[in-house]
Amino acid sequence: MKIGIIGSGAMGNGIAQVATTAGHNVVVYDNNAQALERAKAVTEKNLNKLQDKGKIADAAAVLAQYNYVGTLTELKDCQLVIEAIVENIDIKKAVFKELESYVSEQCIIASNTSSLSITSLAAALQKPERFIGIHFFNPAPLMALVEVIPAIQTREGLADEIKSLMQAWKKVPVLAKDTPGFIVNRVARPFYGEAIKIMEEGLATKEDIDYALTKIGGFKMGPFTLTDYIGHDVNYVVTETVFRSFFYDPRYRPSFAQKRLLEAGWLGRKSGRGFYDYSQGEPQLQSQLSEAEQKQIVERILFMLINEAAEALYLNIASAEDLDLAMTKGVNYPKGLLAWCDELGADYVLAGMDTLYHTYHDDRYRASALLRKFGTEKKRFFAK
Ligand SMILES: NC(=O)c1ccc[n+]([C@@H]2O[C@H](COP(=O)([O-])OP(=O)(O)OC[C@H]3O[C@@H](n4cnc5c(N)ncnc54)[C@H](O)[C@@H]3O)[C@@H](O)[C@H]2O)c1
């Protein structure tokens, strides 16, 4: 199968590498000649490194499977085209319309969009039943998770075909409904949002919170270190997009603390300053809080995350297995959230959510109907 990739930026180039190392010939198109040159150089460097480490046998042979092109027509004999260009719905739709006039009727067309509706993108096509979302994570060659998102127009069976293909590419595919943020970018919101809210309320410092989540929670990075790493231009914009897309549900309400960082141009690690100032080196994470206080911070954020996962299950966004796979493989959580709930007891998590709700009287803290049911009936998400 010949694969076409549109956009040779961070994601497109990464996805191309996944496809070539899986044995496909790949045509990479970008409308910016410099971006193509950069992508070529990055690929060569990456593949040579992989060869040195013994991870691939022959970098030159993999490189020979690439064809970098400057016109869209050259994707005409691809059987699958994955788009990874700028996150702009009108530009994406225009590219899909043009692409459809070149490719065969059987060609599958996919988008790697993080935040746009797959259904609205599919609507740009004459044959929307061939369209699907294939959402990789950054960096694509390293992150195992791929969210497969059928549009409401996608033909029966295509999602399963793409899942099999992703398995052949040594990825872990999960099936997600076409709703804002799909799985990971929706379920992970409280990790950032609730942490920032705790800081804004003055209950703990960013250092306290990062310390508690890594040392007690077992997360690889705390929320402030992680959002500085992701970049506030990316992370804040995702939060705001998800908030708007959910018709302003307070569960996803963005924070002023993060918005101000963005306005100041303090985008995180890449600009030398975000929540932390990197001019003095790495942030020193310490906490004067007692262990009980640290546990309270971890639990507040964890309850919100579990509640979000339970709500996603309740609304059939994904299966319980896929929800847990998504968070462990897509954002490296130490445990799946629903399995974590089973461990703590759904009644315990529900009591935590209800305490938050009674404290704030804010709909942000309403427990999911499914968590309430499981909590009341002391049920588990997975068999013991
Ligand atoms: N960066 C991430 O962490 C991440 C993760 C998952 C999904 N995504 C999604 O992947 C897509 C690409 O993101 P990225 O981070 O690789 O962006 P990027 O800016 O690194 O790359 C985008 C590339 O697309 C090219 N491009 C722009 N308009 C084009 C057009 N009309 N025709 C052809 N090429 C065009 C640009 O020249 C650029 O090389 C977006 O939809 C984004 O939401 C990003």
Axis crossing angle, helix 232-245 with helix 189-200, rounded to the nearest 10: 100
Atom of ligand 1 nearest to the CA of 91: 31
Q: How many CB atoms lie within 10 A of CB 193?
A: 23
pLDDT (mean) for 93-115: 97
**Structural contact between residues 14 and 136, judged by C-beta atoms closer than 8 angstroms:** yes
Res. 132: pLDDT tops 90: yes
Confidence at 22, pLDDT banded by 50, 70, 90: very high
Average pLDDT over the chain reads: 97
pLDDT (mean) for 150-172: 98
Alpha carbon of 85 to ligand 1 centroid (Å): 3
DSSP 1: -
Any residues with Cβ below 6 Å from ligand 1, and which?
Answer: 6-12, 30-32, 35, 84-87, 91, 95, 112-114, 136-138
**Structural contact between residues 147 and 119, judged by C-beta atoms closer than 8 angstroms:** no
As a whole number of angstroms, the distance between CA 14 and CA 24 comes to 14
Phi, psi of 179, deg, nearest 5: -135, 160
> For this structure, is 135 an active site residue?
yes
180 upstream amide cis, omega within 30 of 0: no
Q: What is residue 222's three-state secondary structure? A: coil
pLDDT (mean) for 136-164: 97
As a whole number of angstroms, the distance between CA 62 and CA 135 comes to 23
Res. 135: pLDDT tops 90: yes
Please report the pLDDT score of residue 103 as a whole number. 98
Confidence at 384, pLDDT banded by 50, 70, 90: confident
Please report the pLDDT score of residue 130 as a whole number. 98
**pLDDT tens track for 34-81:** 999 999 999 999 999 999 999 999 999 999 999 999 999 999 999 999
88 Cβ contact list (under 8 Å, min separation 6): none
Q: How are beta strands 26-29 and 108-111 bridged, if at all?
A: unpaired
Confidence at 9, pLDDT banded by 50, 70, 90: very high
As a whole number of angstroms, the distance between CA 184 and CA 252 comes to 14
Among residues 111, 135, 235, 368, which one is catalytic? Answer: 135
Alpha helices in the chain (DSSP H): 10-21, 33-52, 59-63, 89-100, 118-122, 158-168, 184-187, 189-200, 206-215, 223-230, 232-245, 256-264, 291-314, 320-330, 337-344, 346-360, 369-376
The protein residue with its alpha carbon nearest to ligand 1, atom 41, reads: 113
> For this structure, is 147 an active site residue?
yes
Alpha carbon of 46 to ligand 1 centroid (Å): 19
Among 182, 179, 209, smallest CA distance to 193 is for 209
Please report the pLDDT score of residue 177 as a whole number. 98
Alpha carbon of 9 to ligand 1 centroid (Å): 5
Please report the pLDDT score of residue 74 as a whole number. 98
Atom of ligand 1 nearest to the CA of 115: 43
**pLDDT tens track for 230-244:** 999 989 999 999 999
**pLDDT tens track for 302-360:** 999 999 999 999 999 999 999 999 999 999 999 999 999 999 999 999 999 999 999 99
pLDDT (mean) for 126-144: 96
**pLDDT tens track for 246-288:** 999 999 999 999 999 999 999 999 999 999 999 989 988 999 9
304 Cβ contact list (under 8 Å, min separation 6): 190, 193, 194, 353, 356, 365
Please report the pLDDT score of residue 280 as a whole number. 86
> By CB neighbour count within 10 A (0-12 exposed, 13-18 middle, 19+ buried), where does 93 fall?
middle
Percent of the chain with pLDDT over 90: 96
